[in-house]
Amino acid sequence: MNLTRQRVEEVFDKVLKYSTAEETEATVSANSFALTRFANNTIHQNVAEEGASLSVRVVSEGRMARASTNKLDEASIRQLCEDVLALARLQPPDPQLLPMPGPQTYRALGRYFNETAQLTPQTRAETVAKVLERAEKDGLTAAGVFSSGAGAYGLFNSRGMKAYHEETSSEFSVTMMSDSSSGWAKKTAPYWMELDPTELAERAAQKALASRQPREVQPGRYTVILEPSAMLDLLGFLILDFGGLAVHEQRSCFTGRVGQKVFGENINFRDDVFHPLQTGAPFDGEGIPRQRVLLVEKGEVKNLVYSRQSAHKLGAQPTGHGFPLPNEYPEAPINIVMDGDRSNVDEMIRSTQRGLLVTRFWYIREVDPYKKILTGMTRDGTFMIEDGKISYGVRNLRFNQSIIDMLGQIEMMSPPQRTAGEESFEMVVPAAKIREFNFASTTKY
């Protein structure tokens, strides 16, 4: 990847050369990505790709259009500008469209690590080999991915905005399987050395071994201990409800409830791109600086997030949570940090007379968008707890649970940690012990 701030400026100068619109915005991005995939205790795929793109948005006589290309030579840039100007002339005027923002000030975040950007296939393969050795030690079968990459993103406009961010990323995910059980673990980080794949492999292996020959238990309401990945994938369904326009248009479960206590006294979370365990750029899709926003304090919904357009319409201040225009989603908080407490999962287990430990959920779907009732299934390590100890693995269960109610029934929490799941983006969330979690039916596996 060779996209620098200087290169973004060069591309933008060419865009301005060929755009005759009243306002012009250019988004230039580039990324390099590599992945090592393994299954059946064998590495079977190694891929790498690099790419760059240019997206131009123009506004002329109140008409807006956007067009994109993956070619950054001058002829392609000229053609793109001609195309987007032609598209704009075909659009109806938008009387609510705001002028593009001018220059902004951003806080540097330091999320680029050369060690991650330069990670080699050999290092990934050697790391995976250790994981496969761990699987074979106990006759388990391992599958998963080890990926790494780097990306850069520049957002410039004709009113003087110049936003630029670069960041590295890495991910390790592993599933360990026996003939009757499975265990799973996953982690992501900008600095790949924080992944600790051997520890993740050990965690997944122990879950697979401990849940062999799972027993069927009756559905019903249980005390549950949700590991952070399970918490994350449920909380992800609340994110769009914190949008200012969603509340105004009564599409949010918080409509009429802002300023009210909705969750338990021990629930606090915020959107905070600056948290050291978070990732992402310090600006949103229009280049507005992201702000820390306290969303919930002691169970009370305190604030919402706003794009420029929503804030202007509703008489609020933009919070830097908008998406690139045009977009069907006006705004959303995407850097969730939920406060926790001092307990750990072992302490939660010891304090539980009878309950279930859940590693993660999958195939989650929304049943009621206003009560926030979700349904889905457990996966890759579900255990019965009896008399403060894990007794045995259980067959997976389907849940049917309001997460609003769930966030009023939390008894214990761990310190929050950067967490990855499969149904939502990464967050900083704790593990939690929750009473009266509703499981609606059992499965046969």
Can you tell me whether residue 258 is helix, strand or coil? coil
Residue-wise pLDDT tens digits, 200-227: 999 999 999 999 999 999 999 999 999 9
Q: Which of 289, 282, 332, 310 is nearest to 98 (CA)?
A: 310
**String of DSSP letters for 390-440:** EEEEB--EEEEEEHHHHTTSEEEEPPPEEE--SSS--EEE--EEEEEEEEE
Burial of 321 per CB tally in 10 Å (0-12, 13-18, 19+) = buried
| pTM tops 0.85, yes or no | yes
Tokens of 52: 């760059």
pLDDT of residue 1: 57
Q: Which residues of the chain have pLDDT under 70?
A: 1
Phi, psi dihedrals of residue 12, rounded to the nearest 5°: -65, -35
Q: Would you kindly state where each structural domain of the chain is located, as residue ranges? A: 5-199, 214-445
Phi, psi dihedrals of residue 425, rounded to the nearest 5°: -75, 165
Residue-wise pLDDT tens digits, 43-80: 999 999 999 999 999 999 999 999 999 999 999 999 99
Cα gap 296→304, rounded to integer Å: 9
Please, are residues 169 and 150 in contact by the beta-carbon 8 Å criterion?
Answer: yes
Helix count and strand count (H, E) for the chain:
10, 19
Q: Which of 429, 444, 347 is nearest to 388 (CA)?
A: 347
Burial of 124 per CB tally in 10 Å (0-12, 13-18, 19+) = buried
Quick count: other Cβ atoms within 10 Å of Cβ 206?
15
Question: Edge-to-edge strand order for the sheet containing 300-301?
Answer: 300-301, 293-297, 269-271, 336-338, 427-429, 417-419
Element (H, E) at 41: none
b/e 380-407 (16+ beta carbons within 10 angstroms → b): bbbbbbeeeebeebbbbbbbebbbbbbb
Give the CA-trace dihedral at 342, 344, 350, 355, to 10 degrees: 110
Cα gap 307→77, rounded to integer Å: 29
Q: Which of 100, 87, 78, 85 is nearest to 17 (CA)?
A: 78
Phi, psi dihedrals of residue 76, rounded to the nearest 5°: -70, -35
Identify each DSSP E strand in 227-316 by its residue range.
Answer: 269-271, 293-297, 300-301
Q: Which residue is it, tokens 């905070």? A: 272
Q: Which of 348, 360, 349, 344 is nearest to 182 (CA)?
A: 360
Can you tell me whether residue 91 is helix, strand or coil? coil
The domain at 5-199 falls in which architecture?
2-Layer Sandwich (3.30)
Cα gap 301→264, rounded to integer Å: 11
pLDDT of residue 278: 97
